């Protein structure tokens, strides 16, 4: 039997100063993919619920991007009973999945569509089920023939850092076939 887990209520709303991803011209396309994804595709389920947000970035921010109008991405994420790993707490795979997708979509917003080639996660504190956290992301500049590095962390509303991720993304070009789907 699943334990009773606190519902997020309004806690998934965009953080102060951030706007829902679908209100950004590129973000609306990204949101279309997020709607179907393993991570953010079940907005009312009992597993992970994720809602993305964006804000404009000033040119002097540490996160250097090459897009004409750089935008930063964050997410609010809630871990429910179906995300359980250790009793009463979020599965590490669910935390890594949220980090992965948040970084991936941050790269999409900063550069273009991309897939993860390498992903690292540090688990700092267990996340009690029913907790809503913020996924904060940073994206580096495009490198070489089409790569970008990103970082993300899951931060509680009291400032607790639950997990940190870093990843290398390969920016998709004509040689890639990810848009298709199916075998
Ligand atoms: C506007 C419309 C858009 C339509 C498009 C829709 C697309 C929808 C797609 C997604 C939606 C989901 C969105 C969120 C996703 C969140 C993130 C994920 O979870 S993504 C899923 C998990 N990732 C995979 O399944 C990748 C599997 N791997 C691959 O397919 C290939 O290995 C790939 C594409 C990553 C690289 O293969 P190569 O043939 O293109 O390129 P090579 O030459 O191998 O690598 C390019 C560069 O990257 C380095 N590299 C590659 N893999 C590396 C690794 N593991 N570690 C370090 N470096 C690596 C290489 O050394 C090379 O570097 P040098 O250019 O020579 O400097």
How many structural domains are present in the chain? 1
Give the length of the chain: 183
Atom in ligand 1 nearest the alpha carbon of residue 170 = 35
Q: Which two tokens stand for residue 138?
A: 């940073």
Residue 179 lies in a domain: no
Pocket of ligand 1 contains residue 135 by CB under 6 Å:
no
Residue 161 lies in a domain: yes
Listed in sequence order, the residues at least 6 apart from 33 whose beta carbon sits closer than 8 Å to its beta carbon are none
CATH of the domain at 69: 3.10.129.10
pLDDT in single tens digits along all 183 residues of the chain = 555 899 999 999 999 899 999 888 888 888 888 889 999 999 999 999 999 999 987 655 544 444 445 689 999 999 999 999 999 999 999 999 999 999 999 999 888 889 999 999 999 999 999 999 999 999 998 888 899 999 999 999 999 999 999 999 999 988 887 765 544
Pocket of ligand 1 contains residue 104 by CB under 6 Å:
yes
Instruction: Tell me which residue has its CA closest to atom 9 in ligand 1.
Output: 178
Pocket of ligand 1 contains residue 168 by CB under 6 Å:
yes
Q: Which two tokens stand for residue 164?
A: 């940190």
Residue 48 lies in a domain: yes
Residue 176 lies in a domain: no
Residue 180 lies in a domain: no
Rounded to two decimals, the ipTM of the complex is 0.91
Residue 178 lies in a domain: no
Residue numbers of the domain that contains 14: 9-171
If you write DSSP's letter for every residue of 38-50 in order, what string do you get? TTTS-TTSSSEEE
Distance 11 CA to ligand 1 centre (A): 33
Pocket of ligand 1 contains residue 116 by CB under 6 Å:
yes
Residue 77 lies in a domain: yes
Question: In angstroms, rounded to a whole number, what is the distance separating the alpha carbons of residues 136 and 75?
Answer: 7
Pocket of ligand 1 contains residue 75 by CB under 6 Å:
no
């Amino acid at each position: 039997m699943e334990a009773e887990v606190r519902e997020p209520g309004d806690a998934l709303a965009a953080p102060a100063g951030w706007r829902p991803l679908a209100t950004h011209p590129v973000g609306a396309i990204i949101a279309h993919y997020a709607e179907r994804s393993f991570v953010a595709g079940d907005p009312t389920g009992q597993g992970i619920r994720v809602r993305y947000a964006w804000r404009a970035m000033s040119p002097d921010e540490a996160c250097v991007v090459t897009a004409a109008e750089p935008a930063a991405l964050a997410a609010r994420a809630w871990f429910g009973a179906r995300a359980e790993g250790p009793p009463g707490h979020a599965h590490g795979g669910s935390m890594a999945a949220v980090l992965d997708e948040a970084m991936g979509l941050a790269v999409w917003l900063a550069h273009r569509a991309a897939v993860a080639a390498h992903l690292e996660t540090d688990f700092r504190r267990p996340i009690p089920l029913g907790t809503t956290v913020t996924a904060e992301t940073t994206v580096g500049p495009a490198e070489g023939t089409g790569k970008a590095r990103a970082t993300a962390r899951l931060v509680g509303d009291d400032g607790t850092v639950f997990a940190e991720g870093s990843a290398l993304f390969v920016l998709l070009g004509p040689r890639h076939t990810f848009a298709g789907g199916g075998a």
